């Protein structure tokens, strides 16, 4: 760590301290509750509904070397600190919103990251950190996420790592500079202090653990916890990752500027205890803001969580297994865009990444085998000036169909993202000039399967003041796939019904749509894909879905081969015959069902969606795509695992 | 009519506690719970305790009752078939819920979602719409509404809920539809969401109202039967039911709004602990109720429990006032295990339950439980329940030995490890209700009760720094004592959502007056004499646009005098206490105003005895060994019934009594106070 502070003493991790298994488990439990306490503190005091109601935030505690011992995302401290030259003192608080200066641990300028060094007996024993999504981060448009941004400079204030509190003293000039650039400074300020309060809670717990067990024992325990996860993951990698490479690919539909679709391709294989995840074959970065600057650490964490979920859910997620995973990201691809690319709307690629990861892991790990879901984070933003000339700005994240799963149906209109919540209609109507005409799910949008995919959401917004609307969504072109005989879920769509009775289709990514009082937006998100053979779904389950209005009688026949009588019961004889007919006609069920091939989707795009199909992107002059083989050799050299270049089958 | 009876129906036992208000004499009885119809167990117990006391049931002046009928109906999903009438466009309100899936990432893969209390096929939309300022956007279409009511009732629903958007601000449409139901089907059970929770957030309000409808027929029938059968047995008294916020309600109210009693059980324990500790001179306490499968903890300050307005039960979050009780899946039956993959020692949340139970119970259980670990280290002597039940020490050692083998420890060390981990889990729960809410646990005493609380309390108090540990007499009966000391209680609220810079003192005053009038009317209608009525006011406040509110006490005199400033200051102070900061320049707002009515009951006399300065030697029944930090330590076993106030002795010691065992660790001193509580403190 480059630092000018002479007195900074980084605690050594002892190698000779024996730690008994019970103490280790106690420290593990205490760290885990510290992490939840960080969350709880933030939720209770944050102002932004995106953090508070939707829980778009992530905590972390690291050891003195910056390795995450508990949290949801990988550590980024080291890379950040390499460029740091201002010293680190007890009582410091660092803020940043620059993805290019923290190895992409935050992936757009809306995420504000707080970093608090933890001292015990004068030595640095770790870091406590938390980041959350700000409602607004300044810039051209409220929300700071213009769908037509071309560089990061279109996306609000870019805060480099800076001390907002130094040795306990609030750095008012810095804060003045920052908040002067915000539309709703009070909210940013409250949310920033809420993030700090969360980090302080983590700091306090670590200090207490050092007091209680001794600093050396605590630090040895951190190391032992990292080692424990390392050992567990080694076993899982050997179980879940095949030695022979195999690939999976899927698409982000467009970049908001009319280009697309963008392919994301992942090839995985194993060499001994080491697993490779190679994104070679992924399309070059987009001109528009759909690039997702993927942090290697974060991706390793995703993989780890997927693999470990079903084995010991009580385990502490930490960095311990990172040396076993090797991530190849060619420079200049959609997932490793070069500075100063636009990053604001990265949730589409982020969500697709899980579809691709799930698809790639499926064959070897059947317990993780699910279909694809609504596959993005659909936003609706609405701003303007109210009756009394007061500025209003509403932002809501919508959800959609959860994939069909081994355990059961995908939930209808639920959040794929953990712990996110919808915003109550009564909250929206009390604070914003909005009336919600209806909030329901889209009948028949879940992909049929033995376990049905969840239905997408339909939310109808009636605007009561003149204003501007933004939409961020995806899966309007390609479909959330079904698996093992399940069908894909339905695509998303947005219809604007003007108060004069006219109707228009809105693209899935757009800004500055001018609305007048009485205009209604019908926002429909995508459904989830079905899991296993749709013709094997128990007839009672289909009858229940029809009686609930989640599936229509017509689709019961088309999608499940179940013939529904006028009284809502099933006609068993007709059902048996219809299922037999469909089985014969279909032949063997597909392993993955993506719907029609891409060429066909593009050809029928205008007719089916009312929107022009996206066109292939032209390469950006300032960001050439690195060759996949070179990228792989670069990673092999960095991770010290020499070998021949492995290519996708 | 001097007798008061507290009755608590628990999972295994029904506890009864009888007090003679004139001379303070007390009687206690424990009978098995009869899960099929819990009133049967209650009646058996009542007969038994009357017999013990030598009185006729007619002498009972009051019966206070904590019941889990509503709790179990929710947890088991066995309630009435509920029909829901909601606003057009919101039929899927319960189906969509808050759209939440559990963490961490990929938690949705293993999520199991229970059916809501009203199924989609029993939910219909009314043509009507209320706006957010209480203005009618679309009037109720009476003809359409008649049609959907008939459709629901004819289809066989047993209970109706009306839950409309924005009814928190104006209940006009809900009442209008309620009146139509009453006209079409007089007497049909109907719950209006604006009656049960007149607060905003439509999902929680509608869910709570539907849950009320869901449990209502069951609870109504239960209290009716109990009342009738008690009367048949010669009793003439009223039966009162304990609410989740440790207030009492009449059976009439319990039949109408049973959801207020959904956590009646745990709240009785907290109320009992508080009564005992306050009397002993400790108004600031952490309660520690450890049972077979879980542990309930709560914080009480200045003799008052902390009341929250969000109550989680199973996967449902209900909007009813309840004591902030936090539950962890750690109890005597919690199973210790070592996952293959990580080789870590985990305790719970799986539990051996009552069947097969811990290995030491000899009922076929083989898995190592917390109870088995207690047997191995000697905290539980080989004979329980006054010698009635022998423990199988060898079976406990075998079970715990499997854990030792898996992590490479001797059996004794493995047992100590299991106890250390379960104690840590429970301390985590205590930290959540104290440290995480800005309280220093060292300022609180720890009151231990429940079957296993006194076994672990000393060790847990050591982790928290919370002393003294108070172990009341008959720690297993504390819930029934809580039933006895509870006051009548109800609260009424009105959502106003107004920023402080726009709010007028006279408007606040008139809302409070109206709430106060309603509260007094309610108390009077429940038969509470005017002199026993006590009224307090709260304002739920937050910074504008925050999502959670803090309940700030309101002085009605200040409001009447036009002073509101101190409300904002008090809110800032409470925000700082809870979250560690407050915002000087951020605007605040009042979300809800509340009025809480308490109706006093006669205070209870606790038996006392003059303190002497004994050492309890006369109560020693046995010498024994316990394992402490890897060593075997000679330990005396005391019979609690032979200890007298003033007796003081050092740990290690074990105190046994009919329904519980107390452990005093080395380095600590136990003393019996004048109320027969055992107080444990660090040795001076």
Q: Test B546 with A46 for CB contact under 8 angstroms.
A: yes
Which residue of chain A is at minimal alpha-carbon distance from B103?
A418
Which residue of chain A is at minimal alpha-carbon distance from B129?
A437
Q: What's the pLDDT score for residue A314?
A: 65
Kindly report the CA angle at B84 between B79 and B88, in degrees rounded to 5? Answer: 160
Given CB atoms, is A314 within the 8 Å cutoff of chain B?
Answer: yes
Q: What's the pLDDT score for residue A162?
A: 96
Interface mutation target, options B579, B582, B586, B627, chain A, most CBs of A under 10 Å: B579
Which residue of chain A is at minimal alpha-carbon distance from B132?
A430
Q: What's the pLDDT score for residue B582?
A: 79
Q: What's the pLDDT score for residue A288?
A: 96
End-to-end CA distance of chain B: 48
- List, in order, residues 6 or more apart from A524 with CB less than 8 Å away: A442, A445, A456, A457, A458, A492, A493, A494
B676 confidence band (pLDDT: 50, 70, 90): very high
Nearest by CB: A52 against B436, B547, B575: B547
Nearest by CB: B104 against A370, A418, A549: A418
Q: Which of residues 218-257 of A touch B (CB under 8 A)?
A: 228-229, 231-232, 235-236
pLDDT, greater one: B239 or B464? B464
Given CB atoms, is A58 within the 8 Å cutoff of chain B?
Answer: no
What's the whole-number mean pLDDT along residues A28-54? Answer: 81
Q: What is the pLDDT of residues B331-345, one digit of tens each?
A: 999 999 998 777 889
Given CB atoms, is A390 within the 8 Å cutoff of chain B?
Answer: no
Last residue of a domain, one of A205, A227, A249: A227
Q: What's the pLDDT score for residue A311?
A: 60
Tell me which of A86-100, A190-204, B63-77, B421-435 is least confident: B63-77
Chain B: give the shortest CA distance to residue A264, in Å. 20
Q: What is the pLDDT of residues A210-231, one digit of tens each?
A: 999 999 999 999 999 999 888 8
Cβ-Cβ contacts under 8 Å, B349 against chain A:
none
Cβ-Cβ contacts under 8 Å, B170 against chain A:
none
ipTM of this model? 0.91
Q: Test A201 with B96 for CB contact under 8 angstroms.
A: no
**Residue B1, pLDDT above cutoff 60:** no
Which two three-digit tokens encode residue A333? Answer: 């691809």
Chain A: give the shortest CA distance to residue B239, in Å. 39
Tell me the average pLDDT of chain A: 92
**Residue B245, pLDDT above cutoff 50:** yes
Which two three-digit tokens encode residue B206? Answer: 């509608």
Tell me the average pLDDT of chain B: 90
Given CB atoms, is A200 within the 8 Å cutoff of chain B?
Answer: yes
Which two three-digit tokens encode residue A65? Answer: 């070397």
**Facing residues of B5 across strands?**
B18, B63
Which residue of chain A is at minimal alpha-carbon distance from B407?
A21
Cβ-Cβ contacts under 8 Å, B120 against chain A:
547-550
Cβ(B370)–Cβ(B331) below 8 Å: yes
**Facing residues of B27 across strands?**
B18
Q: What's the pLDDT score for residue A320?
A: 86
What's the whole-number mean pLDDT along residues A594-612? Answer: 97
Which residue of chain B is at minimal alpha-carbon distance from A550?
B120
Interface mutation target, options B417, B460, B545, chain A, most CBs of A under 10 Å: B545
Q: What's the pLDDT score for residue B575?
A: 85
Q: Test B113 with A413 for CB contact under 8 angstroms.
A: no
Q: What's the pLDDT score for residue A644?
A: 94
Q: What is the pLDDT of residues B517-553, one digit of tens each?
A: 999 998 888 788 888 899 999 999 988 877 678 899 9
* E strand map for B472-544: 487-499, 533-543
**DSSP labels for B639-677?**
EGGG--TT-EEESSEEEEETTEEEEE-TTEEEEE-TTS-
Q: What is the pLDDT of residues B18-75, one digit of tens each?
A: 988 888 788 888 888 887 888 888 999 999 999 999 999 998 888 888 888 888 888 8
Nearest by CB: A45 against B93, B346, B579: B579
Q: What is the pLDDT of residues B250-300, one digit of tens each?
A: 888 888 899 999 888 888 999 999 999 998 999 999 999 998 888 999 999
Tell me which of A311-325, A571-585, B23-37, B609-623 is least confident: A311-325
Structural domain contains residue A173: yes
Q: Test B90 with A311 for CB contact under 8 angstroms.
A: no
Q: Test A426 with B586 for CB contact under 8 angstroms.
A: no
Structural domain contains residue A434: yes
Cβ(A364)–Cβ(A248) below 8 Å: no
**Facing residues of A395 across strands?**
A381
Count how many domains chain A has.
2
Q: Test A412 with B579 for CB contact under 8 angstroms.
A: no
A2 confidence band (pLDDT: 50, 70, 90): very low
Cβ(A310)–Cβ(A360) below 8 Å: no
Task: Measure Cα distances from A132 to A129, A618, B18 in Å.
Answer: 10, 34, 55
Given CB atoms, is A315 within the 8 Å cutoff of chain B?
Answer: yes
Q: What's the pLDDT score for residue B385?
A: 47
Cβ-Cβ contacts under 8 Å, A311 against chain B:
339, 341
Last residue of a domain, one of A497, A531, A565: A531
The phi and psi torsions of B526 (rounded to 5 degrees) equal -90, 5
A163 confidence band (pLDDT: 50, 70, 90): very high
Cβ-Cβ contacts under 8 Å, B580 against chain A:
41, 197, 200-201
Q: B611-634 burial by CB neighbour count: b if 16+ within 10 A, else e?
A: eeebebeebeeeebebbbeeeeee
* Residue A235 exposed, middle or buried by CB count within 10 Å (0-12, 13-18, 19+): middle
Structural domain contains residue A68: yes
Q: What's the pLDDT score for residue A4?
A: 45
What's the whole-number mean pLDDT along residues B153-167? Answer: 97
**Residue B366, pLDDT above cutoff 70:** yes
What's the whole-number mean pLDDT along residues A350-377? Answer: 86
Q: What is the pLDDT of residues A235-264, one digit of tens each?
A: 888 888 889 999 999 999 999 999 999 999
Structural domain contains residue A77: yes
Q: Test B546 with A402 for CB contact under 8 angstroms.
A: no
Interface mutation target, options A19, A191, A313, A430, chain B, most CBs of B under 10 Å: A430
Percent above pLDDT 70 for chain A? 96
DSSP state of A476: S
Which residue of chain B is at minimal alpha-carbon distance from A188?
B586
Structural domain contains residue A583: no
Cβ-Cβ contacts under 8 Å, A72 against chain B:
104-105
Q: What's the pLDDT score for residue B680?
A: 98
Interface mutation target, options B86, B98, B105, chain A, most CBs of A under 10 Å: B105
> The whole model's pTM is what?
0.89
Q: How many residues does chain A have?
A: 649
Cα(B109)–Cα(A305) distance, rounded to whole angstroms?
Answer: 12
Which residue of chain A is at minimal alpha-carbon distance from B343?
A228
Q: What's the pLDDT score for residue A75?
A: 65
Cβ-Cβ contacts under 8 Å, B428 against chain A:
29-30, 33
Nearest by CB: A430 against B90, B132, B431: B132
Given CB atoms, is A564 within the 8 Å cutoff of chain B?
Answer: no
Cβ(B563)–Cβ(B505) below 8 Å: yes
**Residue A50, pLDDT above cutoff 70:** yes
Cβ-Cβ contacts under 8 Å, A416 against chain B:
101, 108
Q: Test B165 with A53 for CB contact under 8 angstroms.
A: no
Nearest by CB: A29 against B109, B428, B543: B428
Q: What is the pLDDT of residues A131-148, one digit of tens each?
A: 999 989 999 998 899 999
Percent above pLDDT 90 for chain B? 55
- List, in order, residues 6 or more apart from B588 with CB less than 8 Å away: B499, B500, B541, B542, B543, B544, B568, B571, B572
Structural domain contains residue A20: yes
**Residue A1, pLDDT above cutoff 50:** no
A20 confidence band (pLDDT: 50, 70, 90): confident
Structural domain contains residue A330: no
- Chains A, B: CB contacts under 8 A, how many? 233
**Residue A3, pLDDT above cutoff 50:** no
Q: How many residues does chain B have?
A: 684
Which residue of chain A is at minimal alpha-carbon distance from B583?
A190
Last residue of a domain, one of A515, A531, A547: A531
* Residue A51 exposed, middle or buried by CB count within 10 Å (0-12, 13-18, 19+): buried
Runs of H (alpha helix) within A532-609: 539-547, 553-560, 572-586, 598-603, 605-609
Given CB atoms, is A49 within the 8 Å cutoff of chain B?
Answer: yes
Q: Which domain holds residue A31?
A: 9-227
Nearest by CB: A416 against B108, B545, B547: B108
Which residue of chain A is at minimal alpha-carbon distance from B121?
A548
- In chain B, the domains with their CATH numbers are 3-73+219-264 (3.30.420.40), 79-212 (3.40.50), 283-467 (3.30.420), 487-599 (3.30.1490), 617-682 (no CATH)
Q: Test B99 with A413 for CB contact under 8 angstroms.
A: yes
Given CB atoms, is A170 within the 8 Å cutoff of chain B?
Answer: no
Q: Test B120 with A548 for CB contact under 8 angstroms.
A: yes
Q: Test A548 with B95 for CB contact under 8 angstroms.
A: yes
Cβ(A76)–Cβ(A105) below 8 Å: yes
Cα(A377)–Cα(B159) distance, rounded to whole angstroms?
Answer: 38
Q: What's the pLDDT score for residue B413?
A: 95
Q: Test A33 with B132 for CB contact under 8 angstroms.
A: no
Q: What is the pLDDT of residues B618-664, one digit of tens each?
A: 999 989 899 999 999 999 999 999 999 999 999 999 999 877 899 99
Which two three-digit tokens encode residue A13? Answer: 């991790």
């Amino acid at each position: 760590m480059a630092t000018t502070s002479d007195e900074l003493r980084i605690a050594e991790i002892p190698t000779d301290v024996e730690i008994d298994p019970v103490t280790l488990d106690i420290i593990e439990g205490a760290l885990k509750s510290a992490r939840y306490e960080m969350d709880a503190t933030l939720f209770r005091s944050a102002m932004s509904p995106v953090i508070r109601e939707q829980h778009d935030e992530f905590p972390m505690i690291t050891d003195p070397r910056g390795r995450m011992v508990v949290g949801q995302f990988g550590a980024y401290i080291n890379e950040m600190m390499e460029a740091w030259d201002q010293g680190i003192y007890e009582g410091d608080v660092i803020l940043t919103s620059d993805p290019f200066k923290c190895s992409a641990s935050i992936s757009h300028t809306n995420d504000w990251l707080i970093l608090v060094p933890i001292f015990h007996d004068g030595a640095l024993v770790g870091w406590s950190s938390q980041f959350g999504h700000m409602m607004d981060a300044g810039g051209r448009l409220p929300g700071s996420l213009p769908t037509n941004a071309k560089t990061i400079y279109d996306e609000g204030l870019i805060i480099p790592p800076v001390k907002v509190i130094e040795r306990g003293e609030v750095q008012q000039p810095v804060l003045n500079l920052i908040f002067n650039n915000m539309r709703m400074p009070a909210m940013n300020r409250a949310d920033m202090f809420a993030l700090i309060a969360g980090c302080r809670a983590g700091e306090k717990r670590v200090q207490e653990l050092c007091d209680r067990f001794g600093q050396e024992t605590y630090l040895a325990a951190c190391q032992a916890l990292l080692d424990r996860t390392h050992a567990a993951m080694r076993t899982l990698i050997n179980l879940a990752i095949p030695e022979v490479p195999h690939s999976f690919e899927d698409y982000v539909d467009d970049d908001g500027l009319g280009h697309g679709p963008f392919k994301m391709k992942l090839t995985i294989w194993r060499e001994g205890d080491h697993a490779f995840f190679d994104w070679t074959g992924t399309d070059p970065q987009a001109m528009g803001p759909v690039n997702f600057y993927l942090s290697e650490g974060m991706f390793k964490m995703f993989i780890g969580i997927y693999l470990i979920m079903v084995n010991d859910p009580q385990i502490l997620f930490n960095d311990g297994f990172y040396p076993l995973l090797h991530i190849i990201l060619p420079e200049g691809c959609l997932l490793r865009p070069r500075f100063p690319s636009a990053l604001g709307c990265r949730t589409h690629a982020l969500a697709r990444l899980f579809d691709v990861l799930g698809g790639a892991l499926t064959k070897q790990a059947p317990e993780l085998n699910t279909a694809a879901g609504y596959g993005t984070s659909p936003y609706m933003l609405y701003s303007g000036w109210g009756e009394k000339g007061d500025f209003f700005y509403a932002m809501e994240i919508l959800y959609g169909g959860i994939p069909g799963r081994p355990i059961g149906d995908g939930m209808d209109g639920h959040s794929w993202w953990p712990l996110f919540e919808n915003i109550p209609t009564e909250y929206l109507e009390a604070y914003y000039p909005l009336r919600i005409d209806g909030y329901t799910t889209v009948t028949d949008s879940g992909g049929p399967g033995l376990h049905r995919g969840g239905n997408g959401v339909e939310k109808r917004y009636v605007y009561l003041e003149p204003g501007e609307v933004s939409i961020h969504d995806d899966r309007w072109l390609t479909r959330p796939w079904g698996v093992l005989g399940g069908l894909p879920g339905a695509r998303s769509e947005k219809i604007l019904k003007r108060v004069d009775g006219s109707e228009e289709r809105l693209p899935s990514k757009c800004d500055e749509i001018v609305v007048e009082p009485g205009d209604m937006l019908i926002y429909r998100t995508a459904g989830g894909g079905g899991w296993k053979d749709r013709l094997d779904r128990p007839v009672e389950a289909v009858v229940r879905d029809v009686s609930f209005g989640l599936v229509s009688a017509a689709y019961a026949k088309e999608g499940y081969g179940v013939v529904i009588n006028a009284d809502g019961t099933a006609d068993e004889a007709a059902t048996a015959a219809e299922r037999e007919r469909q089985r014969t006609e279909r032949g063997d069920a597909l392993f993955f069902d993506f719907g029609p091939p891409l060429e066909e989707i593009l050809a029928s795009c205008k007719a089916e969606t009312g929107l022009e199909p996206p066109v292939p992107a032209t390469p950006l002059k300032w960001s050439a795509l690195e060759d996949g083989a070179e990228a792989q050799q670069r990673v092999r050299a960095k991770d010290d695992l020499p070998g021949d270049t492995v290519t996708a089958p | 009519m001097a007798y008061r009876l507290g009755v608590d129906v628990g999972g295994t036992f029904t506890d009864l506690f009888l007090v003679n208000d004139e001379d303070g004499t007390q009687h206690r009885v424990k009978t098995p719970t009869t899960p099929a119809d819990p009133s049967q167990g209650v009646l058996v117990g009542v007969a038994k305790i009357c017999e013990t006391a030598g009185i006729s049931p007619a002498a009972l002046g009051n019966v206070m009752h904590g019941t889990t009928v509503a709790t179990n109906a929710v947890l088991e999903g066995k309630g009435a078939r509920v029909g829901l009438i909601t606003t057009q466009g919101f039929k899927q309100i319960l189906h969509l819920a808050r759209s939440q899936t559990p963490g961490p990432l990929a938690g949705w893969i293993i999520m199991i979602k229970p059916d809501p209390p009203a199924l989609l096929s029993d939910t219909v939309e009314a043509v009507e719409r209320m706006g957010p300022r209480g203005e009618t956007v679309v009037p109720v279409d009476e003809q359409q509404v008649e049609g959907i009511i008939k459709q629901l009732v004819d289809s066989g629903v047993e209970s109706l809920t009306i839950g409309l958007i924005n009814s928190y601000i104006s209940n006009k449409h809900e009442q209008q539809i309620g009146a139509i139901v009453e006209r079409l089907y007089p007497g049909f059970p109907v719950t209006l969401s604006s009656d049960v929770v007149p607060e905003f957030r439509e999902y929680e309000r509608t869910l709570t109202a539907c849950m009320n409808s869901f449990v209502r027929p069951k609870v109504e029938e239960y209290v009716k039967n109990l009342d009738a059968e008690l009367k048949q047995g010669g009793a003439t008294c009223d039966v009162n039911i304990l609410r989740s916020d440790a207030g009492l309600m009449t059976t009439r109210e319990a039949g109408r709004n049973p959801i207020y009693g959904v956590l009646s059980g745990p709240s009785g324990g907290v109320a009992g602990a508080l009564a005992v500790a306050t009397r002993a001179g400790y108004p600031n306490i952490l309660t520690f109720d450890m049972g077979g499968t879980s542990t309930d903890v709560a914080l009480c300050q200045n003799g008052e429990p902390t009341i929250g307005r969000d109550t989680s039960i199973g996967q449902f979050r209900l909007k009813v006032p309840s004591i902030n009780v936090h539950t962890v899946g750690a109890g005597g039956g919690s199973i210790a295990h070592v996952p293959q993959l990580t080789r870590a020692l985990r305790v719970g949340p799986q539990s051996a339950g009552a069947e097969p139970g811990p290995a030491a119970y000899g009922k076929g259980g083989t898995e190592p439980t917390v109870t088995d670990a207690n047997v191995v280290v000697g905290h539980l002597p080989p004979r329980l329940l006054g010698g009635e039940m022998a423990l199988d020490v060898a079976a406990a050692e075998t079970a715990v030995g499997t854990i030792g083998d898996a992590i490479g420890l001797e059996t004794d060390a493995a047992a100590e490890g299991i106890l250390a981990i379960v104690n840590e889990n429970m301390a985590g729960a205590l930290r959540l209700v104290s440290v995480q809410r800005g309280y220093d646990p060292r300022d609180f005493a720890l009151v231990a009760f429940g079957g296993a609380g006194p076994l672990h309390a000393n060790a847990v108090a050591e982790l928290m720094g919370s002393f003294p540990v108070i172990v009341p007499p008959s720690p297993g009966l504390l819930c029934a004592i809580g039933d006895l000391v509870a006051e009548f209680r109800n609260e009424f609220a009105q959502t106003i959502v107004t920023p402080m810079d726009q709010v007028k003192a006279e408007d606040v005053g008139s809302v409070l007056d109206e709430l106060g009038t309603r509260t007094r009317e309610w108390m009077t209608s429940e038969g509470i004499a005017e002199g026993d009525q006590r009224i307090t006011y709260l304002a739920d406040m937050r910074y504008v646009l925050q999502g959670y509110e803090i309940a700030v006490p309101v002085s009605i005199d200040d409001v009447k005098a036009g002073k509101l400033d101190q409300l904002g200051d008090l809110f800032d102070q409470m925000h700082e206490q809870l979250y560690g900061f407050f915002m000087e320049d951020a605007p605040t707002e009042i979300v809800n105003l509340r009025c809480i009515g308490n109706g006093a009951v006669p205070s209870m006399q606790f038996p006392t005895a003059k303190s002497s300065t004994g050492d309890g030697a006369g109560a020693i029944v046995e010498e024994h060994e316990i394992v402490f930090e890897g060593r075997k330590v000679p330990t005396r076993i005391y019979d609690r019934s032979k200890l007298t106030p003033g007796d003081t002795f050092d740990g290690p010691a074990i105190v046994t009594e009919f329904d519980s065992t107390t452990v005093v660790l080395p380095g600590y001193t136990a003393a019996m106070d004048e109320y027969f509580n055992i107080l444990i403190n660090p040795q001076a």
